[in-house]
Amino acid sequence: MSTTGRGKWYWRPSYAGYSIGSAIAWAVIWLLVGTLASTTTVHTFAYVFLGWVIGWVSASIARAVYPAPKVTLLTRKPRP
């Protein structure tokens, strides 16, 4: 994280950090669901997880095919 002279925080997490954080969160959720829930709930939750994985994969493909713009529209400055 970095700050500017005005003291406002500017933090832009990377996609890799988002992916690692999501993997850790899903591991904890699966640990809890696998140990505490019934078999029916685990199967239902597997469909929710599968939907999230499909969304994550499609977002990864979109980031690769359509990269972020070089200049932001609000500030007209190049992205860091």
Which pLDDT does position 79 carry in this prediction?
62
Q: What is the pLDDT of residue 68?
A: 72
Specify the pLDDT at position 42. Answer: 94
Per the CB < 8 A criterion, the answer to whether 60 and 69 are in contact is: no
Domain that holds residue 77: 12-80
Is residue 5 in a domain?
Answer: no
Segment 50-72 mean pLDDT: 86
Residue 78 pLDDT more than 90?
no
pTM comes to 0.67
Q: If you average pLDDT over residues 8-29, what whole number do you get?
A: 82
Domain count, the chain: 1
User: In residues, how long is the chain?
Assistant: 80
- Bridge partner residues of 71 (DSSP): 78
> What is the Cα–Cα distance from 4 to 10, expressed in whole angstroms?
8
- Side-chain-side CA neighbours of 28 within 13 Å: the count stands at 5
Residue 4 CA to residue 31 CA, distance in Å, equals 41
Whether residue 69 has pLDDT greater than 90? no
Q: What is the pLDDT of residue 76?
A: 65
